[in-house]
A and B are shown apart, each in its own frame.
Chain A
Amino acid sequence: MALMETGKYSQGSLLGSVNPDLASERQTASFSVEKLTAWLDGGTEHTRLRRAVVEAIECDPVFSRENQYFESQNERYEAAVRKAVHLQKKMDEMGWTENGPEFKALSGDLAFLLHRIFTRSISMLGSDQQIAKWIPLATQYQLIGSYAQTELGHGTYLQGLETTAVFDITTQEFVLNTPNISAMKWWPGDMGRSATHTVVFAQLYVNGKCYGLHPFIVQIRSLQDHSLCPGITAGDIGPKMNFEHIDNGYLMLQNVRVPRENMLSKFCEVQPDGTYVRRGSQKINYFTMTTVRISLILDEVVIPLMKACTIAIRYSVVRRQSKLKPGEQEAKILDYQTQQEKLLPQLAAAYAFYFISDYLQELFDRGYREIQRKNFDMLPELHAFSSGFKAMVTQYSTSAVEICLRACGGHGYSLLSGLPSLYTKIVASCIYEGENTILFLQTARFLIKCFMAASTGQPVPPSVTYLAAVTPEKCPAKNKLDFLSPDIYTEAYQHMAARLINSTAAKLQDLVQSGVKKHDAWNQCTVQLAQAAKAHCHYITVKNFAETVEKLETQPGIQKIMKHLCDLFALHGIFSNAGVFLHDGYISGAQMDMVTASYLDLLAVIRKDAVPLVDAFDFTDKTLNSALGSYDGQVYQRLYEWAQKSPTNKQISPAYERYLKPLLHKTLSKL
């Protein structure tokens, strides 16, 4: 297995031989890890391919991340550029494609991610001529692109962006300006230091009339010496919680002129005489964001969550603390119910979200095919789903990774655990590509609309027909085992989601009928609306998990453990949101006790397979880059050896000579 081969360390070290505490966990697996991995990958061939790429990358010293935690912002940035450049070379050599698995193998520690978004937005929003002109240049890295949308003063609320692009009919150019400080582009990746070009989103003005936001290709740095172009002010926005390797930038435009052909014009165009022509829905301009939202769920959220679970669960069987029985050895901390209750629901969520990302990808592919045929009917649903699931999955996973971090106690706080950087990275996903609360409200708007339509008998997309369905008023469960039936809990979720959407819609109507203005009524219901949208996404996730398990008939060994995880995910959700299930008496107090009992029983069942379940994610040690989570479980040895390599131990600290010595020797007053 690829995993085993990566753990090669110096002779005489324990590293490489598996800690017996981890080895014993693997002997009792109730299923074949290899089979589960293959199933997750979509077949053994995919697994083989993925491992080959990962190995090719990890055996290349340029891609080493061993010193990552010790590096400064400048060093991280330089390393990221170095790796991105090297990757291009490697891709040419190996014949890899742009959308292949190699990016994931590098764990995102690369520059030029925005270059890909730049390329993607030109492919999607550009005319055929624009694609023919720019894509080869971008692919050949004759230019480096970025994507400049967010401004200092505005993010998710795109209509509020203030950058302007005024059409000058005499020169056939657009004149771009940053009219005030809050209009400065702020945050775009790769823009602070690297990019030569960027797609700027600006309010288009033709003959004094504003046509709203449009994308423009703007050159910002010289292709010769990389100096800033005239009229451009750009730089790095300074240190952040993470992404030190990326030069998120600012950009100020002063009368910057670009030719008419630089407005991306697949869907809208300004003709030479200033006539504005629109083809299709204007919403299509936001389509890039929908795409990005769906793809980020897997790459930027689910995979980091899987890594965090791997690290925390492996560490929890190596760490022994206190005694469960007098006279016995200290217990593995994963044997404590409280530790299981922290980690195992997060593991179940990682699987649940992995499956929901598949579901969304399918929905998206279907929608994209339609859009190619200029049929925009699926856009609202696609937009609502990508928004809501992006919000739910990022919010849930962020807190899940933080739970994993804190579940590792003090050592989790060391950067060498790998957990802080996973957390600070995943937490950004709650904001970028749309702030979560606003995204939930967008989904809510769609749901309320569908609810209104469904209740008057009009057709709605299949995913929301449940809003009009009639469900029993009481949960039929009689004992705790009944709660292990997917029908029982899926129906409970459905009932709960429908009730929340229903009651919020009713409240909105009441307010409007009592004379409150529509927008005020909306604001007064937003807390409830966001909750309803979240409930909808939670329900779909549970339902999709249950359906995924059902389809596993041909693989009984895997199906059984997946069923346990599905049950755990569902019951954990009921247990932790008891109020909304109890509220209208759908689940009774006595039934809630059954849920709790079944939920706690499941923890002990899944505990036995916890390590095999994270092994199946098949991360190499180098990918995890964690002293606590490595495959061999030699946690303490690795932590000790790695810490000794810290620059603080290698360099002589100037602080001693300058300050400590005078302090110790009482000569400080001379300072």
Chain B
Amino acid sequence: MCVEWESALFLFSSSVLSLEALVINDPDFQHEDLNFLSRSQRYEQAIRKSSLMVLKLREYGITDPDEIYWFKSFVHRGRPEPLDLHLGMFLPTLLTQATPEQQDRFFMPAWNLEIIGTYAQTEMGHGTHLRGLETTATYDPATQEFILNSPTVTSIKWWPGGLGKTSNHAIVLAQLYTQGQCKGLHAFIVPIRQLGTHEPLPGITVGDIGPKFGYDEMDNGYLKMDNFRIPRENMLMKYAQVEPDGTYVKPLSDKLTYGTMVFIRSLIVGDSARSLSRACTIAIRYSAVRHQSELKPGEPEPQILDYQTQQYKLFPLLATAYAFHFVGAYIKDTYHRISGDIHEGDLSELPELHALTAGLKAFTSWTANAGIEECRMACGGHGYSRCSGIPDIYVTFTPSCTYEGENTVMMLQTARFLVKSYTQVSSGQQVTGMVSYLNDLSRQRIQPQHVAARSVAVRINDPVSLVEAYKARAARLVEAAAKNLQAELNHRKSKEDAWNRTSVDLVRASEAHCHYVIVKLFTAKLAEISNAAVRAVLTELCLLYALYGISKNTGDFLQAGILTDAQITQVNQRVKELLAIIRPNAVALVDSFDFHDVHLGSVLGRYDGNVYENMFEWAKKSPLNKTEVHESFHKHLKPMQSKL
């Protein structure tokens, strides 16, 4: 199959590829292997590169947000960096929420990096549940200032990237109090460090929150404010306002924030796809290089990729990576399609998209998170070495299960939308979009039997038919959750209790819904592929994705009567046949992701496959090897031996 053509169609545009070359060939962006550096050194390298990056972006005149995203990603090789929040949150928030006067005051200095800002939302005690944030901003009409306070330990801002050491300003989210009333969360521009000396301002306590699992380059920080005063004009007032006398003016709509969330979550879906693709690339290439044991007595050791168990670990993940690419692209396109409507004030499509992206963000990040680890473990002991690059992919990716909305909470948001749609259908209304399968329930109601007991004549070699099977499973689980919820409501007094006691069922329903959407989108994508060879191999991957999902969730399909025991046996058998069919294309399929060695950052995943020689070269550079005899010998070992 044609690798070049693949990458051009699906994954990168040619301008992105030339950006990559621009960065990779630039001597300014070279440095020692980060695995050998301390955290402080890694932060320093990141700051150095970020500073140069800003200059070069201006020099090259790169302004398109997508191009900036890719440029950044190449410079930092997919890792976070201390200016992420300045570029990704501080500047955009100024653009969308600042008044023209505020933009005059802050935007150009921020654009020119005299002001480096971050976005301080999460506190020690609260994350996803925003209403629980405790930081206060109390308006003082006498001086026309807001007084910012961190009233408790739990209210200390905690986690914002770039806050610890890099930023001199922060957009702080705080509960606004004016005229003795709390008006909820609002955003304020707060200077935190002295311009010039970079020392924290009086009333500000700021620092780094210490070492983390990953994100070594990022100075995630804490911020504590004690009666810190800022002028009234520092509240972002494009929508809500506080007038000089303290009168509060309400914003027009609060649904607008949905737009940003949808956009960021769509990025996470794309990131799930990319991170999983990188891990798959490394594991599959390495599995073609590694030889082990014997398949046939007397023959040379086979490539470990020839073992069924190894294929069973890796190929479903490869299929998943492709599936998520298409899902990410779909959400992004949908967002762009309706963002015009949003701008015009037509928010009708937003709730469904919002509910769908919440669930897909959770589904894809959970799956990719587990999948990256599976890839790493499929590389055996060497996967555990930092030289494999997968530990780094994992620790960088795993927080996306938590940030921008904790996954379980996200699944429950999707569930709320599903239950709402189900209730609408039950009361005779039609629903549209991805949940329209629920409409079938009302037709079904005429017959006394269980909705999904209606047999779907599933053809296990036909993706379209498998979409129907997934649809039936989703319908069954949404209905079951909604009915259980109703039963709990009948038993108990409070809505919240009933919801809580059904939440495990509700999460399952959301997962089934997301799974259906993904199989559907993957299947739909096949029709768009004109090259027959590419379509053939992607159809195999699509089938594998769908059938593997069934074999991992046989309980759902059996219990609902969607598939019989005999069909499940066939599905399991077919999965194994597909593994053998995909095997010859496995390396080509990861080559199509087209990751440059520098970006992949892995000795095991090198394009040239010269793994062992390069592992030895890499190890020799390890900090413990700096001297032939380690100083511990003289300090501890020798004295002990002489004493015993």
Contact = CB atoms under 8 A, between A and B. Distances in A.
A141 interface: yes
B630 A431 contact: no
Interface residues of A, number: 135
B292 A160 contact: yes
A178 to B, nearest CB: 11
Interface string A641-660: 01111111101011110111
B588 interface: no
B312 A81 contact: no
Contacts of A658: 44, 48
Given A238-B618, A660-B198, A227 B112 contact: no
A240 B293 contact: no
Contacts of A523: 295, 307-308
B80 interface: no
Interface in A624-639: 636-637, 639
Contacts of B526: none
Q: In this complex, which of B55, B168, B198, B636 has the most chain A Cβ atoms within 10 angstroms of its Cβ?
A: B636
Contacts of A648: 39-40, 43, 164-165, 207-208, 210, 219
Contacts of B576: 524, 527
Given A322-B129, A342-B408, A583-B554, 8 more contacts: A153-B290, A235-B619, A238-B36, A409-B402, A436-B377, A592-B555, A668-B52, A671-B51
A88 B153 contact: no
Contact of A235 (B165, B395, B551, B625): B625
A524 to B, nearest CB: 6
B134 to A, nearest CB: 11
Interface string B388-411: 000100010011011100111000
B384 A519 contact: no
16 contacts: A82-B632, A89-B640, A154-B292, A238-B622, A239-B385, A241-B391, A322-B131, A338-B507, A339-B408, A437-B310, A519-B295, A579-B554, A581-B555, A636-B125, A636-B156, A651-B40
A459 interface: no
A19 to B, nearest CB: 12
Contact of A337 (B195, B291, B500, B559): B500
A70 B212 CA distance: 10
B153 A410 contact: no
Contact of A155 (B44, B380, B395): B380
Interface stretch (B236-244, B273-281, B328-336, B609-617): B609-617
Given A85-B637, A646-B209, A323 B48 contact: no
A321 interface: yes
Contact of A582 (B207, B208, B312, B558): B558
Contacts of A319: 125
Interface stretch (A36-44, A72-80, A475-483): A72-80
Interface stretch (A180-188, A365-373, A461-469, A538-546): A180-188
A643 B504 contact: no
Q: Which 7 A-B pairs have the closest CB atoms?
A: A578-B555, A579-B554, A236-B624, A238-B622, A646-B210, A648-B208, A420-B213
Interface residues of B, number: 133
B71 interface: no
A150 B559 CA distance: 46
A669 B116 contact: no
B612 A72 contact: no
B113 interface: yes
Interface string A119-154: 000000000000000000000111010000010111
A654 B40 CA distance: 9
B372 to A, nearest CB: 11
A193 interface: yes
A323 B129 CA distance: 9
B296 A88 contact: no
Interface string B136-172: 0000000000000000011010110000111010000
A54 interface: no
Interface string A415-446: 11000100010011011100111100100000
Given A413-B402, A583-B568, A585-B565, A341 B504 contact: yes
A662 interface: yes
B171 to A, nearest CB: 18
A643 B636 contact: no
Given A235-B620, A250-B616, A409 B406 contact: yes
A159 B298 CA distance: 13
A336 B500 contact: yes
A222 B294 CA distance: 39
Contacts of A524: 308, 576
Contacts of A470: none
A94 interface: no
A73 to B, nearest CB: 6
Given A226-B629, A415-B212, A656-B165, A428 B384 contact: yes
A636 B124 contact: yes
A517 interface: yes
B436 to A, nearest CB: 27
B126 A321 contact: yes
Contacts of A411: 124
Contact of A653 (B44, B387, B553, B628): B44
A286 interface: no
B637 A194 contact: yes
Contacts of A520: 295-296
B399 A325 contact: no
B396 to A, nearest CB: 11
A181 B622 contact: no
A69 interface: yes
B317 to A, nearest CB: 15
B132 A330 contact: yes
Contacts of B500: 324, 335-337
Contacts of B195: 664
B636 A82 contact: yes
B51 A583 contact: no
A410 B122 contact: yes
B521 to A, nearest CB: 25
A393 B136 CA distance: 48
B629 A227 contact: yes
Given A88-B640, A194-B637, A651-B40, A157 B166 contact: no
Contacts of A579: 551, 553-555, 557-558, 568
Q: In this complex, which of A144, A223, A323, A337 has the most chain B Cβ atoms within 10 angstroms of its Cβ?
A: A337
B212 A414 contact: yes
Nearest to B394: A241
Nearest to B500: A337
Contacts of A337: 500-504
B213 A413 contact: yes
B622 A239 contact: yes
B61 interface: no
Given A193-B630, A519-B297, A664 B114 contact: yes
Contacts of B44: 653-655, 658-659
A580 interface: yes
Contacts of B503: 336-338
